[in-house]
Structure 1
Amino acid sequence: MTDEERAQKVFDALDSMDLKYEVFSHPPVATVEEAKDHWDHIRGSKAKNLFVRDQKGKKHYLIVLEQDKPLNMKWFSEHFGLDKLSFASPERMEKYLGLQPGSVSPFGLINDANKEVVVYIDEEIMNEGYVNFHPNVNTMTLNMACEDFKNFLKATGNKVHFVTIHMSV
Structure 2
Amino acid sequence: MSGEAAAGEAEIEARLAGGGTPLTPEALLARLAELGIAQTTIEHPPVFTVEEAKALRGTLPGAHVKNLFLRNKKGRMWLLSCLEDRDIDLKALGERLGGGRLSFGSAERLMRHLGVRPGSVTALAVVNDPEGAVQLVLDRALTTLDPVNLHPLANDRTTALSPEGLLAFCRAVGHEPALLDMD
Tell me, yes or no, whether TM beats 0.5: yes
- 1:121 corresponds in structure 2 to 138
Instruction: Report the CA distance between 1:29 and its aligned residue.
Output: 0.4
Alpha-carbon distance in 2 for matches of 1:17, 1:38: 30
Instruction: Say what the alpha-carbon RMSD is for the aligned residues.
Output: 1.4
Q: What is the number of equivalent residue pairs in this alignment? A: 162
C-alpha distance after superposition, 1:56-107 (max 9, x if no partner)? 3x21100111101110010011123222110000000000000001000011
Secondary structure class of the residue paired with 1:70: coil
Instruction: Report the CA distance between 1:24 and its aligned residue.
Output: 1.1
- 1:94 corresponds in structure 2 to 111
1:73 aligns with 2:90: yes
Secondary structure class of the residue paired with 1:129: coil
- 1:60 corresponds in structure 2 to 77
1:13 aligns with 2:31: yes
Secondary structure class of the residue paired with 1:136: coil
Alpha-carbon distance in 2 for matches of 1:66, 1:110: 21
Alpha-carbon distance in 2 for matches of 1:61, 1:162: 12
Q: Could you tell me whether the CA contact under 8 Å between 2:81 and 2:138 is conserved in 1?
A: yes
Alpha-carbon distance in 1 for matches of 2:145, 2:102: 29
Instruction: Report the CA distance between 1:55 and its aligned residue.
Output: 1.6
The residue identity in structure 2 corresponding to 1:96 is H
Identity of aligned residues (%): 30
The residue identity in structure 1 corresponding to 2:71 is R
Instruction: Report the CA distance between 1:43 and its aligned residue.
Output: 1.7
Q: Could you tell me whether the CA contact under 8 Å between 1:104 and 1:134 is conserved in 2?
A: yes
TM-score, normalization by structure 2 = 0.84
Secondary structure class of the residue paired with 1:68: coil
Moved over 4 A (4+): none
- 1:33 corresponds in structure 2 to 51
Unaligned runs of 5+ in 1: none
The residue identity in structure 2 corresponding to 1:107 is L
Quick one: higher RCO (CA 8 Å, sep 6+), 1 or 2?
1
